Structure 1
Amino acid sequence: MRNLLQSLLLGVVRLIVGAHGRHGAARPNNGQTIYFANHASHVDTLAILAALPRETRAHVRPVAARDYWDSSSTKRFIANHVLNVVFVERKRESGEDPLERVKEALATGSSLIIFPEGTRSLDGDIGPFKSGLYWLSRQFPNVALVPVHLSNLARAMPKGAVLPVPVSCHVSFGGEIARAAEDKDAFLFEARASVIRLQNTAKG
């Protein structure tokens, strides 16, 4: 039932915003992967899923904030029964590991979609990456890291909008980047740079 509902929802997303996948020389495969992307709208997760091949998408779970997806019965249903979201708590008790559920998902073999900026960009610039991607790569060094850039999604679903606006959007997948080494800042700089390079290629 989940696969059917997801296919129907993603079909609507493709109809409205396109979510055209650009893979270049590197196409997503079925290996365990963390897809990390710029964050522009609430449609971002759906656009990435829509651009992934069906057989790859079956193993991918989005990572998202519980306070957003748990804010209404409709969002809660989609998160739990359609997208199989891995929830993170933005408001948590002191000392609690915010990545606990994310690590559990990786440990059981799921691939993930994450947004390392942590919040949506309002001007199209890609902000600094938070450290979660680094720690996940350090703990799960065999999981591939693939950058993704989303273009026009902010126009498709501006902040405050309830429904997306029909706009042609693209989802660009890059090649794998190197796993995290000792230098956290250097890793996060390069991870962000890999998404910016996709952004520049899309503009060109």
Structure 2
Amino acid sequence: MRAPADGTVSGDDAGAVKSPGALYFIGRWIVAPIAKLVYRPRVIGRKNVPEHGKVILASNHLSFIDSVLIPMTSPRRVQFLAKSTYFEGRGLKGRVSRAFFTAIGAVGVKRGAGQAAQEALEQSRRIIDSGAAFALYPEGTRSLDGRLYKGRTGIGWLALTTGAVVVPVGLIGTDEMQPVGVSFPRVRRVTVAFGEPIDVSHYGSAESGRARRLATDEIMAAIHALTGQELAGVYNESPPANTVERVRRALRPERL
């Protein structure tokens, strides 16, 4: 079955998922313990992450540092999608960026919509089927005002298609640790809470828009229970840049 067009990125490679390689394990077993000593994140519910089997870590998203904290505190190897531009730079800066994102388990993808978004979901599915714990942000992008936004149903499609259980993740304080525009994370105590696994298979087939919506809403409710954030009740989207885009969004039906 083809993935529904509900996502923000597109895969570079339609082939098999590659192993994260040596840099990932250096980051996980050498760099991560040092970072934990410095920042001392409070981690709750690590035992809720299954040791084996397909699992999706679905988290709220407040800061760039979120994508470092989740792999650093998860008891399992984690992979997630990141902008391909992080892997394409040249010179020393490009090599450093590529090494860093490889070390934290990122898989490079190109941003886009429509067909590009479908390909991103397919790439996500391949990662889950490979046995890795896959992390994503159902809101789609960072919350700049601290509220929890409506989840996009790509998470529902992935869970229903792969049969993976979903572990909700609540991140608290990461927006103070590394606010937008701050390059290096401040020393702040943050909390990473892993909730109880959710099985959404009872909602039905991934082909059903209703099933995807209900599964997504249950996952977002679990994230909200962990974080206590104010609910926005809408999708997290950048303001329309021009009149044509404002009209297009006004006429567009709600995404399932």
TM-score, normalised relative to structure 1 = 0.84
Partner of 2:99: 77
**Structure 2 residue aligned with 1:176:** 197
Greater CA radius of gyration, 1 or 2?
2
Moved more, 103-112 or 4-13: 4-13
Residue 116, structure 1, aligned to residue 138, structure 2: yes
Q: Which residue of 1 aligns with 2:82?
A: 64
Unaligned runs of 5+ in 1: none
RMSD between aligned residues:
2.2
Equivalent AA in structure 1 for residue 62 of structure 2 = A
- TM-score, length-scaled by structure 2: 0.68
Superposed counterparts of 1:1-204, under 5 Å: 1-2=22-23, 3-23=25-45, 26-31=47-52, 32-53=54-75, 56-57=76-77, 60-68=78-86, 70=88, 72-73=93-94, 74-80=96-102, 82-91=103-112, 95-96=115-116, 97-141=119-163, 143-180=164-201, 181-182=203-204, 183=210, 184-200=212-228
Cα distance change on mapping 1:198 and 1:159 into 2, 3 Å: same
Contact 2:62 2:146 in 1 (8 A): yes
Classify 1:70/1:115 alpha carbon distance in 2 versus 1 (closer, same or farther; 3 Å): farther
* Alpha-carbon contact 2:55-2:128 (below 8 Å) kept: no
**What's the CA shift for 1:64?**
2.4
Contact 1:16–1:167 (CA under 8 A) maintained in structure 2? no
Residues 1-37 of structure 1: per-residue CA shift (max 9 Å, x gap): 431233333234323432221018x532322210010
Q: Equivalents in 2 of 1:50, 1:126: separation in Å?
A: 23
Q: Percent identity?
A: 23
What is the count of residue pairs matched by the alignment?
193
